[in-house]
Chains A and B, each alone.
Chain A
Amino acid sequence: MESLLILLMIFILSLFLGYELITKVPPTLHTPLMSGSNAISGIVIIGAIVILKNGDGRIMEIISLIALILSTINVIGGFLVTDRMLRMFKKNNTEK
């Protein structure tokens, strides 16, 4: 039970931290912010790896593998497309 409370504290503090971090992002960067944070929510990839390791039985392995593939798409695709967008912003700046 104690560990639940600690996790709950981490959860709530992170929500506040997220709020503070994101309110300062200018509207210009809202789309890269969304795709970038989207990639970060792919952190569930960690969960997919853990569950794949702990699981036994073919069905469980296959379901975990699907979860791993989906979250990898989310992570890799998200970071790359964000970089692609931010490169455009950066390029414009150096031209100036």
Chain B
Amino acid sequence: MINSNIITLIYIISSVLFILGMKRLNSPKTARSGNLISSLAMFIAILVTILDNSTLKISWIIIGLIIGSSIGISMAKLVKMTAMPQMVALFNGFGGLASALVSSQEFTRIFNIGNHTIYSVSTIIISIIVGTITFTGSIIAFLKLQELITTNPILIPLRNILNLFLLLITISIGILILITGNHLLIYYLIALGLIVGILIVIPIGGADMPVVIALLNSYSGIAAAFAGFALNNTILIICGSLVGASGLILTNIMTKAMNRSMLNVITGGFGQQNININKDISKHSKPFKSIDTESTSILLKYSENIIIVPGYGLAVAQAQHSIKDLSDILESKGCNIKYAIHPVAGRMPGHMNVLLAEANIPYDQLYDLEQINDQFITADVVIVIGANDVTNPEARNNRNSPIYGMPILNVDKAKNIIVLKRSMSTGFSGIDNELFYQEKTSMLFGDAKKSLEAINKELKLD
């Protein structure tokens, strides 16, 4: 049994450690220690909560911790870096569901002892709604990213009206619980939250997933914060809102990078019309230049400044290590190598950086859009691997283009451009890429990994 003031004091210490931990994420050098500090903060908070108010039901708690830890440890150890987005989605979902469950139990408890107030009930209702939406929304996102269900948007007729209708019903039930005090209505609320979560994410296409994961990340924090209101627990509120804010910032960055509004992402269906356009594209007859691996290696040999633009196609082709080998060889020949990473290059914010870091590419060679865009003009060669829409000059030049206004990498300013690609097919947006038809652009067709390995071989020969 610990005095409740001491508990609060320890929660304060733990909150400070969380904040310090997050602050250290500002630089790759201190980030790891920051994460350790956050986990220490979590450990202290858990320990003091277990010891609080005697060691009641300690065996239940230990069982829960052991089961949860073993599942968590094995998931964290086994997951592939390419599968990181779906795992984060799954974890978000678990967190959201846990918040909803905790709030629902607090709800039952205060009704049993007849101690419910408008304040406690309304915060519980919010926590349950946000938590359940986070749960099913994340599960759908997971299924899409894992490609267990189609990554194309699934469009339900009148979905926006339906969603609005369901949301209104959900809010009405919430108000009804407040007015009538009929606590059995909470089950309808839970069911509705679960359905709304599915309906919100199901019309969103694979390309928009980075936005969705960031948003769900924010929701899981908000759900925890409101569970904190319900339980009168400050550390839940502090941590929940820190995460809520962080998720919102990332959501904002992602929507900007895709030139979309949040509303536009939520109402869904962006990727839909593209499927039809995709088929016609092969018929186009604009001339383009293609190049073989031998000429590519000769070109690279005589270049000084080289910028590599990786897209998710690089990860799909498992070519991260081949590109690392290429940059090692070129660096040993005195070339200056930089990587230009568009915010939506991977399947979640910063995903491409992690995939390149896994291949041992030093992070100080990784540049983001603003840092590198002025440097393309001095680049002798730009190698584009598995990236498409984010290099399309139409976003800058063509007012009628659907991607007009999207921030792009100014690859077209470079002296020479080599594009590694399987075919002339379009990217997610379904639009033809002007870049591919430029005088100074050469297309190197084939599997990115094989092409890179062939180039490496040629370069090693001399």
Are B91's CB and A15's CB within 8 A? no
Alpha-carbon distance between A72 and B317 when the two chains are bound, in angstroms: 35
Alpha-carbon distance between A50 and B7 when the two chains are bound, in angstroms: 13
**B22 on the A face (CB < 8 A):** yes
Produce 1/0 per residue, A79-93, CB < 8 A to B: 111111111111111
- Please indicate the chain B residues that have their CB under 8 angstroms from the CB of A68 in the complex: 60-61, 64-65, 68, 98
Are A28's CB and B350's CB within 8 A? yes
Are A72's CB and B67's CB within 8 A? yes
- The residues in A between 37 and 57 inclusive whose CB is less than 8 angstroms from any CB of B are 37-55
- Please indicate the chain B residues that have their CB under 8 angstroms from the CB of A17 in the complex: 19, 242, 245
Alpha-carbon distance between A10 and B229 when the two chains are bound, in angstroms: 10
Main secondary structure of the interface of B (DSSP, over half): helix
Minimum C-beta distance from A6 to chain B (A): 9
- The residues in B between 222 and 270 inclusive whose CB is less than 8 angstroms from any CB of A are 223-225, 227-229, 231-250, 253
Are A43's CB and B42's CB within 8 A? yes
Alpha-carbon distance between A53 and B233 when the two chains are bound, in angstroms: 15
Alpha-carbon distance between A52 and B253 when the two chains are bound, in angstroms: 39
Produce 1/0 per residue, A8-49, CB < 8 A to B: 001110111111011111111111111111111111111111
Alpha-carbon distance between A41 and B73 when the two chains are bound, in angstroms: 17
Are B95's CB and A74's CB within 8 A? yes
Alpha-carbon distance between A24 and B24 when the two chains are bound, in angstroms: 10
Known pairs A25-B25, A44-B99; A51 contacts B105 (CB<8 A): yes
Alpha-carbon distance between A43 and B25 when the two chains are bound, in angstroms: 19
Minimum C-beta distance from A77 to chain B (A): 3
Are A44's CB and B98's CB within 8 A? yes
- Please indicate the chain B residues that have their CB under 8 angstroms from the CB of A45 in the complex: 42, 46, 98
| Closest chain A residue to B134, Cβ basis | A41
Are A80's CB and B76's CB within 8 A? yes
Interface-facing stretch out of B179-187, B356-364, B377-385, B444-452:
B356-364
Are A32's CB and B25's CB within 8 A? yes
Are B363's CB and A28's CB within 8 A? yes
Are B32's CB and A49's CB within 8 A? no
**B87 on the A face (CB < 8 A):** yes
| Closest chain A residue to B84, Cβ basis | A31
Minimum C-beta distance from A63 to chain B (A): 6
Produce 1/0 per residue, B348-370, CB < 8 A to A: 11110110011011111010100
Known pairs A36-B25, A44-B236; A72 contacts B241 (CB<8 A): no
Alpha-carbon distance between A11 and B232 when the two chains are bound, in angstroms: 12
Minimum C-beta distance from A13 to chain B (A): 8
Alpha-carbon distance between A44 and B274 when the two chains are bound, in angstroms: 41
Alpha-carbon distance between A19 and B245 when the two chains are bound, in angstroms: 5
Known pairs A18-B243, A74-B91; A89 contacts B28 (CB<8 A): yes
Alpha-carbon distance between A84 and B106 when the two chains are bound, in angstroms: 36
Q: Point out the residue from A28, A51, A52, A60 that lies within 8 Å of B353, measured CB to CB.
A: A28
- Please indicate the chain B residues that have their CB under 8 angstroms from the CB of A4 in the complex: 119, 229
- Please indicate the chain B residues that have their CB under 8 angstroms from the CB of A82 in the complex: 35
Are B360's CB and A35's CB within 8 A? no
| Closest chain A residue to B63, Cβ basis | A65
Known pairs A24-B26, A74-B95; A38 contacts B102 (CB<8 A): no
Known pairs A28-B368, A63-B104, A89-B363; A69 contacts B350 (CB<8 A): no
| Closest chain A residue to B354, Cβ basis | A31
| Closest chain B residue to A82, Cβ basis | B35
**B45 on the A face (CB < 8 A):** yes
Are B234's CB and A10's CB within 8 A? yes
Produce 1/0 per residue, B83-117, CB < 8 A to A: 01001100110110111011111101100000000
Are B353's CB and A31's CB within 8 A? yes
Known pairs A27-B349, A77-B76, A92-B362; A34 contacts B217 (CB<8 A): yes
Minimum C-beta distance from A93 to chain B (A): 6
Interface-facing stretch out of B48-56, B277-285, B395-403, B405-413:
B48-56
- The residues in B between 193 and 225 inclusive whose CB is less than 8 angstroms from any CB of A are 213-214, 217, 220-221, 223-225
Minimum C-beta distance from B124 to chain A (A): 11
| Closest chain B residue to A96, Cβ basis | B362
Are B225's CB and A11's CB within 8 A? yes
Q: Point out the residue from B42, B49, B105, B241 that lies within 8 Å of A39, measured CB to CB.
A: B42
Are A80's CB and B101's CB within 8 A? no
Minimum C-beta distance from A30 to chain B (A): 3
Minimum C-beta distance from A19 to chain B (A): 5
Are B353's CB and A27's CB within 8 A? yes
- Please indicate the chain B residues that have their CB under 8 angstroms from the CB of A39 in the complex: 38-39, 42, 91
Are A34's CB and B213's CB within 8 A? yes
Are B91's CB and A21's CB within 8 A? no
**B72 on the A face (CB < 8 A):** yes
A-B contact pairs, 21 of them (CB 8 A): A7-B229, A14-B241, A17-B19, A21-B246, A22-B249, A29-B31, A32-B35, A38-B91, A42-B91, A44-B99, A46-B235, A47-B102, A48-B64, A53-B53, A60-B108, A71-B95, A72-B69, A73-B91, A74-B72, A85-B84, A92-B357
List 4 extra interface pairs beyond A31-B348, A77-B73, CB under 8 A: A14-B238, A29-B353, A42-B42, A66-B101
